[in-house]
Amino acid sequence: MSNEQTLAQFEASTREWVKENFPTTLAGSAMGLEGEAEASTKADFEVWRQRLAEKGWGAPTWPVQYGGAGLSHPEAKIISQEMAKLGAFNPIPLLAGMGVTMVGPTILEYGTDDQKERHLKHIASGEVRWCLGLSEPGAGSDLASLSTKAIDNGDNFVVNGQKTWTSGADISQWCGALVRTDPNAKKRDGISFVMLPMGQAGVTTKPIKLISGASPFCDTFFDDARAEKADLLGDLNKGWSVVKRLLQHERQSQTQARSPGSGSKVSLQEKAKTYAGTDEKGALADADLRIRLANHLMDSHAHGLTVSRITAEAKGKVEVSAAASILKNSATKIAQAKNELTMEFMGTQGVGWEGSSFAESELSNVRDWLWGKAISIYGGSHEVQNNIISKNILGLPETTQKG
């Protein structure tokens, strides 16, 4: 049987399974649903999470022994596509915070058998949420300048310092943190990657408000917090290699050109016609807007084809590399361009913050636009990606972050 036939059979079986198992009451609901008020909705959501976890589809490409389904990347893509057709979704990557996209893949590569056994199944099921303690008030793009320290204390490390922009820190159970374990080493040396529970007395968090009105970001404070030696990921003082790999996984997860509000069932071109008007032929009346919208849609389609081509060329085994920096920047450009175009053709209806003269979808628009500005910063800024591209792809000399 050819690979195409095998995938066709998998597609058919996936479609049937989703039809039989996805609670129709959740169709079209936003991912997450933690904020839903009705108990019945929360109950259906939990049933769906459990069914996905039992199937191993929370992290479908992970090994079965660690809570995944052992599937190929093409098969995982089919699952996402079939869910989308039926208004279904996979909430587990969101529930796990940084677990499925970043921490889990890095544990699979660098973790001990004990670490894999203790942590991965809970991530793949969406039962445990992870955050990452990387950036600090004095170490953002130049992450190697971090000052949070971990002192050897026998079976554990005592951690002191502050992390910032820690997404979901206030609702996470575990944190993967980059800490300095040898203060006398060069800037990129003497750094280790530790994993520690967030529920201990030595950890406190403070949410950071953003201009968009909603924010997952927090300041995180470690005051004599404990990280067990058994939860040191990778070798002592070799955490820079670990975090570089982790950030590659992050960029890989950000190569899809999504933006806040991208789950709308109404196409961008139909929305543009509604707000900007059409001519006698049914085309957008504004010729300049029509050309720019068409160019955006072509860029978006080309980006998607490139991601699919890279996946196909890797024969289903996606190799995370510096090329992810190119796709991350491309995805950023497309997502922000979409927000800008939407803001333009909606006119005054697209800038409302509150009031009965705006529909709910209109009120979310300006918040989506504001939030979208963060895309070119988080996961390594646009400029940081350009530095990676110049050094690791173009072979240009290192000019930044010496030491």
**DSSP class per residue in 345-402:** HHGGGGS--SSTTS-HHHHHHHHHHHHHGGGGTTTS-HHHHHHHIIIIIS-PPP-SS-
pLDDT value, residue 37: 45
| Cβ contact 8:74 at 8 Å | no
pLDDT value, residue 329: 83
Least confident among 62-66, 82-86, 241-245, 326-330: 326-330
How would residue 18 be classed by pLDDT, with cut points 50, 70 and 90? very high
Residue 358 above 80 pLDDT?
Answer: yes
pLDDT digits over 211-246, tens only? 777 778 899 999 999 999 999 999 999 999 999 888
pLDDT value, residue 36: 45
| Cβ contact 141:110 at 8 Å | no
Domain match, 374 and 270 both: yes
pLDDT value, residue 156: 96
Query: How many Å apart are CA 179 and CA 193, to the nearest integer?
Result: 6
Query: Which residue range is the domain that position 345 belongs to?
Result: 254-393
Sequence-distant contacts of 7-11: CB under 8 A, at least 24 apart:
7/74, 7/75, 7/78, 10/75, 10/78, 11/78, 11/82
Residue 22 above 70 pLDDT?
Answer: yes
pLDDT digits over 33-46, tens only? 444 446 778 889 99
Give domain status of residue 358, yes or no. Answer: yes
Give domain status of residue 317, yes or no. Answer: yes
How would residue 190 be classed by pLDDT, with cut points 50, 70 and 90? very high
Query: How many Å apart are CA 83 and CA 91, to the nearest integer?
Result: 11
Tell me the mean pLDDT in the region 61-85: 93
Angle at 400 between CA 398 and CA 403, to 5 degrees: 90
Least confident among 201-215, 283-297, 308-322, 379-393: 308-322
Give domain status of residue 347, yes or no. Answer: yes
The mean pLDDT of the chain is: 86
Sequence-ordered strand ranges (E) for 172-311? 174-180, 191-197, 203-207, 218-228, 232-233
pLDDT value, residue 2: 62
Residue 10 above 70 pLDDT?
Answer: yes
Question: Please, is 131 exposed, middle or buried when counting C-beta atoms within 10 Å of its C-beta (0-12, 13-18, 19+)?
Answer: buried
54 or 85: which carries more pLDDT confidence? 54
pLDDT digits over 103-142, tens only? 999 999 999 999 999 999 999 999 999 999 999 998 877 7
- Percentage above 70 pLDDT, the chain: 88
Tell me the mean pLDDT in the region 373-378: 78
| DSSP state, residue 63 | -
Residue 257 above 70 pLDDT?
Answer: no
Instruction: Pick the closest to residue 276 from 261, 288, 260 (CA basis).
Output: 288
Q: What is the CATH number of the domain that holds 211?
A: 2.40.110.10
Query: How many Å apart are CA 104 and CA 111, to the nearest integer?
Result: 9
Give domain status of residue 279, yes or no. Answer: yes
| Cβ contact 124:62 at 8 Å | yes
Query: How many Å apart are CA 176 and CA 115, to the nearest integer?
Result: 13
Residue 96 above 80 pLDDT?
Answer: yes
Give domain status of residue 13, yes or no. Answer: yes
Domain match, 305 and 349 both: yes
Instruction: Pick the closest to residue 104 from 71, 128, 78 (CA basis).
Output: 128
Q: What is the CATH number of the domain that holds 303?
A: 1.20.140.10
Helices (H), 2-72: 3-21, 39-55
227 or 361: which carries more pLDDT confidence? 227
Residue 324 above 80 pLDDT?
Answer: no
Determine phi and psi for 125, rounding to 5 degrees: -90, -10
What's the number of domains the chain is made of? 3
Q: What is the CATH number of the domain that holds 71?
A: 1.10.540
Domain match, 388 and 301 both: yes
- Dihedral sign computed on CA atoms, order 357, 275, 372, 289: negative
Query: How many Å apart are CA 297 and CA 348, to the nearest integer?
Result: 24
Query: How many Å apart are CA 364 and CA 67, to the nearest integer?
Result: 36
Give domain status of residue 403, yes or no. Answer: no
Residue 348 above 60 pLDDT?
Answer: yes
How would residue 255 be classed by pLDDT, with cut points 50, 70 and 90? low
